[in-house]
Structure 1
Amino acid sequence: MSKRLTLTIAAAAAATALLFTGLAPANAADPWDPAIERIGGSDRYDTAVKISKKFPANIGYLFIATGEAFPDALGASAVAGHFGSPLLLVTRTSVPANVVTEINRLNPDAIVIVGGTGVISNAVQTKLATLAPVVTRVAGSDRYATNRKTNELAYDAVGNPPSLALVATGRDYPDALAAGVVGGLRSYPVVLVNGSAAALDAATKTHLADIGVQNGAGIIGGTGSVSTGIENGLTTLFPGNVFRASGPDRFATSAKVRDIFFAAHDTAFLATGAGFADALAGGPLAASVDGGLGGPLYLVQKNCIPAPVLTRLQADQPSKVVLLGGTGTLTADVANLKPC
């Protein structure tokens, strides 16, 4: 197998993107009684397994990330969605038994480990090597280098250049999680930066050129997440083709991502904004539902739905709302669409 993963036909078709496709609100008098589905397990590893069960067996690629920390895995959700692949979580030193069972069901041609041995040990890699014919590790010197290497699995300036890059801070997880679904659906790489830096760093500039980003960049998050200096650097690279999707908090930002990147959709996803794991594993599923049309992933609070998110849901009236995580993560009040 080539060191560079090959792009699937489905992912190539998904690369035709629509931008700024806001949906007009539905009539407020229209009844809305969506089906509520919860995909939740006993812990984050089990929840990821239950999400993975929505994918068919005999897949091409399976992505593996740590369930203990977010930095290395943030960009992996988008790349997994790009390939139509699930993402499973492991600990640093072990593969949970239910994860092994799910890998056997999936029967992947190749497993891609995202992160170095400091987050996923060689012992875990050795175990995974008994479950698939090919196991590849993607790791760099830090979270940003790992992110760049992960993107390089999917994108090539000559063979498969992406039309747009989604830029988010790598210092925290919420904005990148909301971007991950869009990245998987539209075949846009999520490019992590040190959002507090005064300027766009040279390594990121080189990366954007190496993977051949063609048309511009969308910054996910406000200036407190990704600085105006970084925005100015991107504008120099893509004059007139840089925009922001941002709100006053993580919840409003996830709603703004929906406004810009999603039109009518049948399914919407809710995940906690207080943790990364469920949204990370759920991103590839959200990118693949409804025949590949995908559905937005909103971040919500444990016990209620913030106003910007509920407003979008009520306007869009999706026929199904999927909760990612058990009742310890999202309570029954969220399932009942209780406003904050």
Structure 2
Amino acid sequence: MAEPTGQDRTPTVVVSHLDVTYRVLGSGRRGPAAGQGESPRLRRMLARGRPSIGYREIAAVQDVSFVAHHGESIGIIGRNGSGKSTLLRAVAGLIPPTSGRLWVAGEPSLLGVNAVLMNKLSGERNIYIGGEALGLSTQQIRERFDDIVEFSGIGDAVYLPMGTYSSGMGARLRFAISTAAAPDVLMIDEALATGDAEFRQRSAERIAQIREQAGTVFLVSHSNSNIRQICDRVLWMDRGRLIMDGPTEEVMPEYEATQPRRTKASTEPAEPEVAGVERWGGSNRFEAAASATLHSYQAPVEGCFLVSSHRMAHARAAAPVAARLGWPLVWTRPSALPGSAREQLTRLQPGRVVVVGGEEMVRGDTAEKVAEIVDGPVERIGSDDPAQTSAALLRAFPPGDDDRIHVTMPPNDTTALSIGVVAAQHHRALLVADPDQPHPDLLEAVRETAPVTLVLEGGPEDWSPRALEVLADASGRSVSWQAHEGAMLRVARCWGETPPGGRLIVAPINAGLEQLTALAVSGRTGEPLYLVRTDQVPAVIATEIRARRPDSFALVGGVGTVRAEVRAQLGQLLLPEGDGAQPRGEEASATDSSAATKAGPPTAQS
């Protein structure tokens, strides 16, 4: 049984010697077909007072033990009938164990709300019923209603009875409701097989968000690519028994070696080539980040940051430092080093590797694997608290401009990510602070740096009076607010003083891993970074890009993350005015500020 080495890994699910046995009707022996002599025999057995039908037992789960922890994403694999779904239902409390013990922290959610949704009621009513079943208040459901409908993609059908939905529509709505509350333990049984490639990608991104909030995700899937993209740990089941439990990169090859050989097809969707627009992509986000690094850094490099895809506030604080130093970001899972990371470390030959965050972010045995690959020292900076980590980065790597320090809140939304680009462009530090009670270590780091101004994310209503007081006291000067504008516009307007022409780097606004990688690359190459939607280049961003008269683009992210249409639209922007149609898009206020900073007095610009 795989066990983490960190001291702060809080268990969420403990399964000890679990058995689940079904009793089913019938003896298991084939008999005559119905209507062919069974009735007389049945009458004779009843006459003798004997039971007409016997029982037999099926051991669906046998002696399974494991411990799951906060922040883990665990895949459950195996052939049909191996006990995967039964195990999941037992953990969810839907099937009683025959023997053994189960302990689950919080309320487990097996696609959360299936048992309470009613086909005769409308999708709208079911959203409220399902939300209440997940523990949300009516006000919370009302606030998340539009997001649930938009995510599910059912549109006005939300007002029709669920019984009228196709199976795909119903499954998408169930997934959207189930993940609206970010449960402590989320269990998904083949949910990602529903819908088109775009919905599967958005589902994967939603699962990543849940993990960032320290939840635990279980995924049963027959798609090896889904398991590899989402899960950092795998349980391999066969005939009810747990065959192997370990990091994804170790279990999957062993499992696949037992499967029938198939002709290997590319998992990256094909797309037309677009002149002047190069895609740095791959079949998953780790491969896309590795592709961007491959195209931008030559070995050997002075150093690199090993950052975790789990709770990326730590990586968000490190990215401006990486951009300033010209170091790459090498991405890992907490409990396993992806193959793409191994390849990067081998090729880059870094003179120094800085592991960002504590054991919950990158486990000790994962860091030990890095030490086996590189010749230079491997050191750890920070803790599992992003505030402490950002303070440690500030001390270890003083910014070029220490007059202003940018301060963001822990959630990794598009606003916070875009502020990282501003910090990198101006060679400033970025800190992550709790808006209610900033960490003492962070306050001490600010005092040591003595900036003229702390530029805070959001507005005064987003920070407690006490937090504003202690932050202002630590800086000794003043606290101001990030300029109120959309995230994409904020990034686009960072580059006003850079010469026009040359290549631009483009990344999707909602993909934090790709965006932070692109930020580090931009700092290394000096090429401006622009953000776009996953499905379009908004008109206002197209105008900003045209004004720069670029020669070419590098688009960071696979086709599943940023669509082929975006690549085509960027190609149109390379044409002279009038030679091609402008990309479609809404106005700036509608397209760009959906995740912008909340209104507040913009007393200081970036």
Alpha-carbon distance in 2 for matches of 1:227, 1:318: 40
1:129, 1:135 within 8 Å by CA — same for their partners in 2?
Answer: yes
The Cα shift of 1:103 comes to: 0.8
Structure 2 unaligned residues grouped into runs of 5+: 1-273, 570-582, 586-606
Counterpart position of 1:313: 545
Of 576, 584, 587, the match for 1:339? 584
1:58 corresponds to 2:300: yes
Alignment partner of 1:94 is 2:336: yes
Are the aligned partners of 1:75 and 1:192 in contact in 2 as well (CA < 8 Å)? yes
Preserved contact between residue 41 and residue 326 of structure 1 (Cα < 8 Å):
yes
Matches within 5 A, 1:76-115: 76-115=318-357
Structure 2 distance, partners of 1:267, 1:121, is: 38
1:280 counterpart (516, 536, 553): 516
Task: State the Cα distance separating 1:130 from its structure 2 match.
Answer: 1.1
CA distance in 2, matches of 1:120, 1:296: 28
1:70 is aligned, of 279, 296, 312, to: 312
**Is residue 332–residue 338 contact of structure 2 (8 Å, CA) maintained in 1?**
yes
Alignment of 1:1-340 (within 5 A): 35-53=276-294, 54-132=296-374, 133-155=376-398, 162-195=402-435, 197=436, 203-210=441-448, 212-219=449-456, 221-223=457-459, 227=463, 229=465, 237=475, 239=477, 242-247=480-485, 252-260=486-494, 262-265=496-499, 266-289=502-525, 292=526, 294-298=527-531, 300-337=532-569, 338-340=583-585
With over 3 angstroms needed to count, the CA separation of the structure-2 counterparts of 1:258 and 1:234, relative to structure 1, is farther
Note if contact 1:245-1:253 (Cα within 8 Å) is conserved in structure 2: no
Per-residue displacement from partner, 1:80-126 (whole Å, max 9, x unpaired)? Answer: 11211000111122212232122111111111111211121111111
Q: Determine if contact 2:401/2:428 at 8 Å carries over to the other structure.
A: no
8 A Cα contact 1:286 1:297, kept in partner: no
Task: Classify 1:256/1:181 alpha carbon distance in 2 versus 1 (closer, same or farther; 3 Å).
Answer: closer
Q: Contact (CA 8 Å) 1:270, 1:321: kept in 2 or not?
A: yes
Measure, in 2, the Cα distance between the counterparts of 1:310 and 1:234.
Answer: 38
SS in 2 for 1:55: coil
Please list the CA deviations of residues 46-65 of structure 1 after superposition, one character each: whole Å capped at 9, or x if unmatched.
11211111111111111111
* Conserved? CA contact 2:422–2:494, under 8 Å: no
CA distance in 1 between counterparts of 2:406 and 2:491 reads 11
What number of residue pairs does the alignment pair up? 293
TM-score where L is the length of structure 2? 0.44
Distance in 1 between residues matched to 2:528 and 2:357, nearest whole Å: 28
Say which SS state the counterpart of residue 318 (structure 2) adopts: helix
Q: 2:23: which partner in 1?
A: none
Single out whichever of 228-237 and 40-49 deviates more from structure 2. Answer: 228-237
Residue 147 of structure 1 aligns to which amino acid in structure 2? S
- Distance of aligned partners of 1:238 and 1:270 in 2 relative to their CA distance in 1, 3 Å threshold: farther
List alignment gaps of at least 5 residues for structure 1: 1-32
What is the Cα deviation at residue 39 of structure 1? Answer: 1.2
Q: How many Å separate the matches in 2 of 1:190 and 1:42?
A: 31
Structure 1 residue 279: Cα displacement? 0.7
What displacement does 1:304 show?
Answer: 0.9
Q: What amino acid sits opposite 1:334 in the alignment? A: V
Offset of residue 254 of structure 1: 3.1
Structure 2 SS opposite 1:56: coil
How far apart, in 2, do the equivalents of 1:213 and 1:257 lie? 26
1:201, 1:108 → 2: CA distance? 32
- Check conservation: 2:324, 2:524, Cα contact below 8 A: no
3-state DSSP of counterpart to 1:76? helix
Q: Which amino acid aligns with 1:218?
A: V
Cα RMSD of the aligned pairs, angstroms, is 2.9
Change (3 A) 1:224 1:50: farther
| Preserved CA contact (<8 Å) 1:267 1:318 | yes
DSSP 3-state at the match of 2:372:
coil
* Higher RCO (CA 8 Å, separation ≥ 6 residues): 1
- Does structure 2 conserve the Cα–Cα contact (< 8 Å) formed by 1:165 and 1:217? yes
> Could you tell me how far apart the structure 1 residues matched to 2:368 and 2:439 are?
35
1:24 maps to what in 2?
none
Larger Rg: 2
Q: Distance in 1 between matches of 2:325 and 2:342?
A: 21
Letter in 2 for 1:121: R
TM-score (norm 1): 0.75
CA distance 1:118–1:202, change in 2 (3 Å): closer
Structure 1 residues 161-213: Cα deviation after superposition (integer angstroms, max 9, x where no partner):
72321222222242332233343343211111234x3x766544322222x14
2:281 partner amino acid: G
Q: Percent identity?
A: 19
Partners in 2 of 1:183 and 1:49 — Cα distance? Answer: 23
CA contact (8 A) 2:401 2:426 kept: no
